[in-house]
Structure 1
Amino acid sequence: MCRYRKSNDGWNALEKKAEMSTPEARYLIARSASDPNILYGFLLFQMVTEETMDDDVMAEVAYCYELQLVESARNYGLGEYFMKLLAEIGNHWKMDKMMLTVFKSNKGAFRFYKKLGFELDEISPSACLSALQARKFDYEILSKKCS
């Protein structure tokens, strides 16, 4: 939530709640094996159609809206496992790619997603705008083929 508050668009709890409870929202949830009340994290995703730089082509996308892990669950491979499961789901449903949005200030997330093979998507501000225009955006859009 902190990064959202500092973002250009700010934090809107009602909008985030609506996004997280839309009928299309799907979750992968990690709980403790010994106590199901202990949550380690979740991945929120949706299967969506996204624009491309070609006006006549849309992409079928497994879109990662949120990947959240409690601090104590980080660096054990859980985030990587969640993203691997999303790739398998995307493959199963024959999606073109996986996508996500990441704040430029979140250097750890950038390193994590780059390690998993994600790159700037063609519609990411830095990929499709001039450097001057792209500076106005505090996020990038990353993607990776599902196959």
Structure 2
Amino acid sequence: MAMAEKKRPRSRSGAEKRPSRKEILGRRKAIDELMRKAVAMKDHLVEFPDFHKYESNGLSVYLESGHGNQLPLLTRKYIQNLLKVNMEGPYGPEWPLEEKVKRREMLSPEARFVLEEDLPVVYVYELQLEPSVQGKGLGKFLMELIELIACKSHMQAVMLTVQKANKFALAFYRNLRYVISSTSPSRVNPLIELGKNYEILCKTFESEAKSKFEDGD
């Protein structure tokens, strides 16, 4: 999971009044402060005690949070192996290269929070569960927690990327009311979409984010 900013597309009509330099700087300062506070939070789970433990459908799971570059070696190896088990199939021939990218992302100091562009959002880079615990409600529980963290941190949306070949994941997020974002290749340009193997999904919490990420205005 990462706090990020997503760039707003340019106005298509050209009739929209451009903000003044003072307004732009004021907005930039407000977003920077918002992101600073989000990054400064060492453990977001502290504010949600009801989500420290998941007990349902025969599972009893205790949740902890951590920084990617501070994870113990055995934990990092476990995560890397789980990624391969779950994602090698959906990625197909692209997996060897993608695996290297994911390992770098996981071990970077910014593994928890990444600053991208303009609107503040939570971007879910990975949601990986052991095959034996899938289909028991834990994934939904974790996504509900992420959405609560996003709202508590005043983020405007939760966004994520899903491989088209991963039909199970697509159905999972659709059931949670995530929609294909207007920033996804399939909506940006159908010709470009033919060469892309993924969709960008989103769930928005603010009208501005809905306009930019869902409606594409």
TM-score, normalized by length of structure 1? 0.73
Q: Is 1:122 equivalent to 2:208 in the alignment?
A: no
* Counterparts of 1:48 and 1:120, CA distance in 2: 22
Q: Is 1:77 equivalent to 2:137 in the alignment?
A: yes
State the structure with bigger RCO (CA 8 A, min sep 6), 1 or 2: 2
SS of the residue aligned with 1:63? strand
* Counterparts of 2:163 and 2:107, CA distance in 1: 22
Paired position in structure 2 for 1:68: 128
Q: Deviations over 1:61-106 (max 9, x none)?
A: 1010001000111111100011001000100110010000000000
Q: Deviations over 1:2-37 (max 9, x none)?
A: 1465155753444222201222223xxxxxxxxxxx
SS of the residue aligned with 1:11? helix
**Are the structure 2 counterparts of residues 25 and 12 from structure 1 closer, same or farther at C-alpha, using a change threshold of 3 Å?**
same
The Cα shift of 1:49 comes to: 3.8
Paired position in structure 1 for 2:62: none
* Counterparts of 2:132 and 2:142, CA distance in 1: 16
The gaps in structure 2 that reach 5 residues or longer are 1-83, 207-217
SS of the residue aligned with 2:173? helix
**Are the structure 2 counterparts of residues 62 and 93 from structure 1 closer, same or farther at C-alpha, using a change threshold of 3 Å?**
same
Q: Is the 8 A contact 2:160 2:200 kept in 1?
A: yes
**Are the structure 2 counterparts of residues 80 and 127 from structure 1 closer, same or farther at C-alpha, using a change threshold of 3 Å?**
same
Q: Is the 8 A contact 2:91 2:163 kept in 1?
A: no
TM-score, normalized by length of structure 2? 0.50
SS of the residue aligned with 2:155? coil
The gaps in structure 1 that reach 5 residues or longer are 27-45, 51-57
Q: Is the 8 A contact 1:47 1:61 kept in 2?
A: no
1:11 to 97, 107, 119: 97
Aligned length: 120
Please identify which structure carries the higher helix content.
2
Q: Is 1:137 equivalent to 2:196 in the alignment?
A: yes
Give the % identical residues.
Answer: 36
1:18-33 → structure 2 map (5 Å cutoff): 18-26=104-112
Paired position in structure 1 for 2:148: 88
Paired position in structure 2 for 1:105: 165
Please identify which structure carries the higher strand content.
1
SS of the residue aligned with 1:67? coil
Paired position in structure 1 for 2:210: none
**Higher-Rg member (1/2):** 2
SS of the residue aligned with 1:136? coil
